[in-house]
Structure 1
Amino acid sequence: MNDAIKNAIAVHALAEYPRECCGLVVQGFEGDAYMPCRNTAVTPLEHFVLAPSDFAAAEDLGDIVAVVHSHPGGSASPSVADKAMCEASGIDNWIIVALGVQGDGSIAVDDWCEFGPSGYVAPLLNREFVHGVHDCYSLIRDWYCIERGVELQDFERADGWWADGKSNLYLDNYRAAGFVEVSIPASGDFEAGDVLVMQIRSKNDVPNHAGIYLGGGLLLHHMHGRLSGRTVWGGMWAQCLRKVLRYQGGVS
């Protein structure tokens, strides 16, 4: 990372503060250049979602060689979500710039970090919620990969899909992921690995949350704005249950 790129990143990060900035380093005919991008996350003070159209525009200019984002008021160390996104991105270099309040009250760059893929796999418990990276469906996919050796299909999902008035992520896609619907047992006696699909304050009036039944009355799930974890099945969760999905393999 040369000084010109570093300066361009710093200018962008300071201009976006306290929002997280995001951008791409593009290798073109005239060398590397930094391309500022839009952060379209629903919670831009906490996360970043790089606008797909900006990514496409960068690809038109050359090879994308680095993903950049800022940590306003935090350290430059990659978060669990940063590491997971890095592994999934196929881009070898990730750059974080940390910003903070200085002694005179000004905002300035505190630190930098560059990192790349290392084979990192996020733990199933206590992961931070980042939609599309660490969300309820991501946890289901990772559980099936770790516990069953099954690679479930991922699905493109816009941040805030559960409130756009039209999207129905789980019911539109569960068959393509290899699941079938089974009857909800009156006794609540599910099989370990069943996906329990719930509807919780959904503005779309569709199921918008799901978790894995672990057996023994325990549910593994990841609620928006919370850390992933296990909870005892029943009560509010049972009242919100809409579908029970069981993995059959392949496409049904």
Structure 2
Amino acid sequence: MISIYIVTKNEERNIERALKSVEGMGEVVVVDSGSTDKTLEIASKLNAKVSFHEWLGMAQQKEHAKNLCTNDWVLNLDADEELSPELKSEILEVIQRSDISGANIPIEEYFLGYPIHQITKKNSHVRLFKKALGSYGNERFHETPTVEGKIIDLKGGIRHYGETSIDVKVSKINLYSSGKAIDKFEKGKRSSILKLITIMPLAFIKSYFIKRNLLNGKRGFIGSMINAFYAFLKEAKLYEAELKSRSKK
């Protein structure tokens, strides 16, 4: 069997879709950090094990939720995501194997209400792993568990519906870039003028051409521009952190 864990806060628009996509798979653990909408009511009606945990950071929240799971295999899903039917079947086969520790799963992005082109290169993340072999670090955002042992790549995808508007996507990159910059600064990384100059055009080329977002028309161009700006913001805010550190001395 498998445990699915989801961290939430005010996700009444999304949580039902996520939970219905994992029906029949096993235990579902929902850890909430203070929803004021119907998130918990919906989750409880769909037989999830619901609990509260004060928000201390994404990695810490997911580590706490993972530790509440009681099965050997665990799957992390965000509230604004769902499993594709293909992935669901694939996971149920994978967890019968004893020769692997986890799996990379491609993320099928929906941007402005539409899915990306099927041959656009997708980002993949370790979302499925044996509980005893995986743990999270202290990253503020875009946290990925460290898993001991063999990791395989799955073909089925997780559908992500979170980027419903340009406003949402820009707000997200502003928030995430701040956390990523602080993480980098605390690890001793420093900014450079060369990277500040080159990171945005290079990130655009990677997103638009190499990852084939050009196949997504205007949405692909807009998304790639925002992705490039996100890369720039991380470097700019790293420099900002350096300036703040100097001013305190």
TM (norm. structure 2) is 0.28
TM (norm. structure 1) is 0.28
Larger helix proportion of the pair: 2
